Structure 1
Amino acid sequence: MTKDQRLQSVIYCRVSSKGQKDEGHGLESQETRCRQYAALKGYDVVAVFPDTISGGGDFMKRPGMKALLAFLDAQPNERFVVIFDDLKRFARDTRFHFDLRDAFRQRKATIECLNFKIDDTPEGEFIETILAAQGALERKQNGRQVAQKMRARMENGFWVHMAPVGYAYRTIKGQGKVLVPHEPLAGIVREAFEGYAAGRFQSQGEVKRFFESFPDFPRSKAGHITFQRVGEILGQSLYTGYICSETYGLNWLKGQHEPLISIETFDKVQERRTGISKLPIRKDIGDDFVLRGFVVCGDCGVPFRSSWSKGRTRHYPYYLCQTKGCSSYGKSVARDKLEGEVGQIVRTLQPSEKMFELATRMFRDTWAQRAAMAVDMVKSGKEQLRGIEKRIEGLLGRVVDATNPTVIRTYEDKISELERDKLRLREQVASFVPEDGRLENLLELSLRFLSNPWKLWESGNITLQRTVLRLAFADRLEYDRNTGPRTPKTTLPFKVLEGFCTPLLGNGADDGT
């Protein structure tokens, strides 16, 4: 044929995963063989359409195949030959195979395969049907084998899905790919859980803002950290070191990976998440008002709102009461004034040096008492564990004797609940006895805060400032727009430090003891 008479052709190549593409397996060799075939036949290759996914047998789930069909639709008056190297690359599902054949037939395109002669005779269609059915069988068998291997690996305590934030896969000899903590993300996730469980973060919105303060924390394609991502992280039980999977019927199975948090911390977070819902963060307020939600109107007891008021040349920040019927309704207080007065209260919380030394001794004595009690607590915990195990054994016996599916399911749910209680109790028993050096670590952090909360406050970091408010004050601060802040209720550590002063001074001691 002359050059003008040569038929035009397109090549279709496919591998089952992006990994095969990245490793250079398949696509290039398929294209080379198809180009050699086209040259031998005298065809001009005008386009190549690759795919890196199987699509589960459905060709319309493959971007490359959709692009090929769109290419043919865009040139309805042209006749093309579609070349592929193996019948299994066409469609590994009997129904989809012939649906795709019809799709090409409607577009007046012919298909040619390197290892199989397409024949439209009844005999040829029969053989093609058998080969297509064989491909579908192999695909389903492969899928079943992969699912069985994944289930077996999960039952052995190895996570097989995408690594959650804070973990990464590492290949370990004899174990394969195992989840390991990935710093600094593991520390960030751990701090988020513990902060939310302890009340440092009052809402998932504050956890979101905490994540956003780290530039390297994973974000969406649009560059955001969504509330959905925050919820997925806080609801992921994998961080406790245990595996739960509805797909594989696994419930709190001990995993082979290192936990980031305790079961107790995880449960506290879930309780808070299912409690009273919090209002989302207002995008127009952001981090401009540190006292929003912490200061209430002295007349009505409702938290102040915050806003920016427009002046002649710039905007001015204010706190104000917006409770109708309140005598302070609509009255505003300048942000800098209110926050400055609260800052002065924080500044007065710093104890004297001798008071601080006394508090240090008090903490050490309390710690020693707790260590002495730990032995009895461990003994009591082990007795409770034995009681739970006996209850589980009893329920297992009832399950064996039961015939009603509803009754069996009820027993199984109760057993699952008791197993969860056993894990939690076992974790608590292990934590009763403090580790060596733990006192110094905890004491250093606690006393560093008690000695000078003002230092954290004056940093200007809104997260640290709100942490100071929650740790130092037992309740919201009341503020009167005429007289200023009222006497706050401090938390127990500061209340204890204040209490040392009164009786000692009454006995004639100098004010430094």
Structure 2
Amino acid sequence: MPTAFLYIRVSTDEQAIKGFSQRSQEDRLMKYCLSNNIEVLEVIFEDYSAKTFNRPAWTLLLSTIKKHKALRPNLILFTKWDRFSRNAGDAYYMIAQLQSFRIYPQAIDQELDLSIPENKIILAVYLATSEAENDRRSLNVKQGIHKAKQEGRWITHPPMGYSYRLFANGQKYIGPKEPEATFVRNAFSLIAQGEQPTCSVFRQMKSEGLKCSNSHFWRMLRNPAYCGKVIVPAFENEKEYWAEGIHEPLIPEVLFLKVQQVLNTRGQKTTTNNNSNEKLILRGFFYCPNCNKRLTGSASKGKTRLYYYYHCVSPCGFRIRADKVHQLFNEQLVMLHADKPYLDLYKDILKHTRRDIFIEQSIIQKTISQSIERLIERILKAKELLLQGEIESDDFLLIKKDCEKRISMMGIELQNAAKKHEIHIKNQYELVLQLSQLSKLMEKSSLPDKRKLLKLILSNNPILTADMWIGNIVNQSVLSVYNLKATTDIKHNADSQKSINTDDAYAAGIIARVAEIENKKGHKTTKTSARNLLSFLLEFARFATANL
């Protein structure tokens, strides 16, 4: 009597509805074996996809066949070939492997004698049809997901700070969930300020009640869903892009982009500088007064301590104490006071470069105010339903308590936003003063920032002399802003035009104002020199803002 293993596989509710339920398959297979006088050795149930043969029950079956020769059946029976596999390539390989053990797979509803060559054509049709059906279903799902994302719908697990809601038509969407939404807003605001490391902000949020892991927190900061966007991945011939989501953003887009900029900047590697660099801050900027070669610097061991010198590498022998040079250079910086017309111009440039901060703060305050108004409306609506008898008093009290708690939290957040706005206005005044306080700005800056500032104000090849005059070592833009005159020729790239990272129309207006200021002084100015001066003021504004 021939023996058989019965293989029963089902993977979805849809298959069960179509008649592929495990009970239905087992009943038909048992009747087939009874009518054909086949002994059933074992019944194997599988609840897994047929895309591959990497299935738990099938893997165990195959292992049993390989290890125990005495337990091998003559047949492995299933209802249809799509119960066996939905991948033609894998199916042919598995059939050959089973036949090597003298075991023959067979579908009782699609019987085929595989010893007949022509039947292999029919088998190919059965297998290819199942595989094509599976591929079509997979493609339809992918297209549906892609279409939903294009429409701005969130289709996966809602991100922290959101929960699923239902529209009147029954369609799902995500809406803010408190108190997590407030934690998210606060986290983005703190990161954007750039005053605390990200790990410090995470610990602060955890101490206030945020429940998430460190890795989850980092993913949250990179998720554009919080500014109302949905990522639409690359699909077919389309590139990845952000679609406008139908959900309510927790933060403005400008704040999200600011946070990305802060995170990207923190990821950059910076070189560490030792104490000798602090003692030789001007090294690499100045040139020898004797041979015009670039000066270097080094320490010389004295009786009690090290003494630092700037010196030439050529045989000319030029050498000067670094501390004396620094003292003289600082005395020259203290003397610098920006010319009033340029001070007024710098105020306007600062407002232009910092306008995104003020816009961001305004949007945050507006968003919070609107959220508070919606909560108040919810309380009023609940009160109206209570009076109409549609909800119980206990339900009303729960709604009121929840809304009042959220209003209180948002009120504190609104106060903090207002305070930040006041701080930015105060900072604006301090930033204007820094244009005439280069020595103080230099003193409080870090070593890399000191070198950035030096690169910004010095000419291309300043000569280091014992009687240093600031007008002989700075570039042409600094001469104009501080109304200085050079007693020697300053070599600078007069014909080079620096790039300006700002609006072209705005730049044209400022360049015209620079030309007007210089004409009133009786100085001739070219469009290139005026553009370079604007570039200097813009770069100085960004530098001063970053170091505030």
User: Which has the greater radius of gyration?
Assistant: 2
